[in-house]
Amino acid sequence: MRIPCTTEPGRAKLTSGSRIAAAVATLALAGILLCAVAHAQGLPAPPSRVFVEGEELIYNVRYGFIDLGQVRIRTIGSERTGPSVVYEGKALIDSYPKVPFVDLHTVYESMMDSTGFSHSFVGRTKTDGAWDFVRYLFQYDRKRVVVEMGVRDSVIGSRDTLAIDTLYHDGLSLFFFARQALYCGQQLNVPTLIKEKRAKTFINFKGEHTSVDLDGVDYPIDAVHFDGNMDFIGIFGLTGGFEGWFSNDEARVPILAKMKVLIGNVTLELMKWTRPGWSPPRAKG
């Protein structure tokens, strides 16, 4: 496995096998530090402080001039199991009421290690008034992931296993991984488990220093730009090319993203945030 360049589902305790995966993740973390040093000759890499308990980031999702909905991403907390710390993240994806032809309500919950790799994941989607779920339980020591699907959390309709040979991301942990890997300065093919299928997310962390304007902020924001491509079809037809602008600081907060979905190109723009002591960094010059 190529060591990635990065830093840092229900609630799961690490098994002895997961501790093995955590040891591998420690090597990945060492890779992060080496990448930061190597990239320091270009864009300086501030220390990473991505996982902050209580952080909530709220994004407006827009299609052209039409506001479609919101994405709220929260860092719930962390717990230590042996030598490892796992972090719990949660995403709530909701379309706005009365948006024509769009009725989307999804909740993602992920338990991640300090490099952002997934240990467990639960995705819930409301369909015709009922909540369906899918749960991933990564058993890295057995080179597999257990996939459970059903309704109302407790009613399991099917259970299957997929073979895996490396650490994986789910749809939410990938968000945190990108923040950690922002200053890597490399092109990465990231193993991703989406819709119960093994896939790849290609991300070009080129470290392009730029600025971005944001509604509600009366100054240009200091940012780092990257782009990439997804070889899978995710929620609401999410697929293909994308690009993002993250804050150029230790928080590495996603400010703006452009993606392709079922209806065309959409923009995700940070509209509200709760993070102690943080404001978008002002671009210099």
For residue range 168-177, what is the model confidence (pLDDT) as tens digits? 999 899 999 9
Span 138-150, pLDDT tens digits: 999 999 999 999 8
How many of the other CB atoms lie within 10 Å of CB of 183? 26
pLDDT above 90 as % of the chain: 56
Q: How far is Cα 279 from Cα 285, in angstroms, rounded to an integer?
A: 18
Higher pLDDT, 281 or 63: 281
What pLDDT, on the 0 to 100 scale, is given for residue 91?
96
What pLDDT, on the 0 to 100 scale, is given for residue 1?
34
- The DSSP secondary structure of 156-182, one letter per residue, reads EEEEEEEE-SS--B-TTHHHHHHHHTT
3-state helix, strand, coil in the chain (%, to 5): 15, 50, 35
**Which tokens belong to 133?**
């779920």
Rounded to two decimals, the pTM is 0.82
Burial letters for 245-260: b for 16+ Cβ neighbours within 10 Å, e otherwise?
bbbbbebbbbbbbebb
Question: Any residues with CB less than 8 A from the CB of 164 and at least 6 apart, and which?
Answer: 138, 140, 143, 144, 145, 191, 193, 198
- Average pLDDT for residues 37-53, to the nearest whole number? 66
- Average pLDDT for residues 144-171, to the nearest whole number? 88
Q: Report whether pLDDT(60) > 70.
A: yes
Span 70-129, pLDDT tens digits: 999 999 998 886 677 899 999 999 999 988 878 889 999 999 988 789 999 999 998 777
What pLDDT, on the 0 to 100 scale, is given for residue 3?
32
pLDDT band at 239 (very low <50, low <70, confident <90, very high): low
Domain boundaries, the chain: 16-269
What pLDDT, on the 0 to 100 scale, is given for residue 234?
66
Q: Report whether pLDDT(200) > 80.
A: yes
- The DSSP secondary structure of 176-245, one letter per residue, reads HHHHHTTT--SEEEEEEEETTEEEEEEEEEEEEEEEE--TT-SSPEEEEEEEEEESS--GGG-EEEEEEE
Q: Tell me the three state secondary structure of residue 54.
A: coil
Q: Are 227 and 256 in contact (CB under 8 A)?
A: no
What pLDDT, on the 0 to 100 scale, is given for residue 82?
64
**Which tokens belong to 154?**
């407790």
